[in-house]
């Protein structure tokens, strides 16, 4: 009887070991599969990040933030670039609050019920600004020269403009 109890305990222990082994193997296989999946996702995200970094670098070529010569130009004149850039944008956006039909800098009148306004602004360097404008249906772009005088006052001069045709 004692031998049978030991045999049953041995068989039970053997079954428990086999069960624990197979369960552990399944868990390890699942973790390895998850690790491979996550490594491939990480690789994809790194590739996408590199592409986005390249795109940001390309876009910074036509921005005052990526133009060291333009920043140096203002620094040599004693102008704080961190104060100037918002002032430039605010000056153009304040023109959107114009009264009447004619916008102060956009050479087109609105062809819809809404006002024509400057929408986006990109400061290219120490002399040029590129903006787009819209009245909700029609849109175009402006090429603007700007100057900062010795008193820190801004002046804008429209150099070129374009209104996209509606299809």
- How much is the pLDDT for 131? 96
> How many Å apart are CA 135 and CA 119, to the nearest integer?
9
* Average of per-residue pLDDT across 36-48: 96
- How much is the pLDDT for 7? 87
The answer to whether 166 and 114 have CB atoms below 8 angstroms apart is no
Strands 139-148 and 128-134: antiparallel
Q: pTM for the whole thing?
A: 0.69
For residue range 63-98, list pLDDT tens digits in order: 888 888 999 999 999 999 999 999 999 999 999 998
Domain locations in the chain as residue ranges: 1-60, 64-163
Is pLDDT of 100 > 80? no
- How much is the pLDDT for 111? 86
* Average of per-residue pLDDT across 124-144: 94
């Amino acid at each position: 009887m004692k031998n049978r109890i030991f045999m049953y305990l041995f068989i039970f222990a053997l079954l428990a070991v086999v069960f624990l082994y197979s369960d552990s193997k399944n868990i390890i296989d699942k973790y390895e599969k998850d690790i491979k999946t996550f490594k491939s996702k990480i690789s994809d995200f790194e590739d996408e990040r590199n592409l986005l970094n390249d795109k940001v670098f390309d876009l910074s070529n036509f921005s005052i933030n990526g133009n060291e010569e333009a920043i140096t130009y203002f620094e040599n004149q004693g102008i704080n670039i961190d104060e100037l850039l918002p002032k430039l944008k605010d000056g153009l956006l304040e023109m959107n609050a114009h009264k009447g039909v004619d916008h102060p800098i956009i050479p087109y009148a609105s062809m819809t019920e809404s006002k024509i306004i400057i929408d986006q602004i990109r400061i290219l360097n120490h002399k040029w600004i590129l903006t787009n404008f819209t009245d909700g249906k029609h849109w175009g772009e402006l090429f603007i020269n700007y100057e900062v005088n010795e008193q820190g006052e801004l002046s804008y001069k429209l150099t070129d403009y374009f209104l996209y045709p509606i299809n």
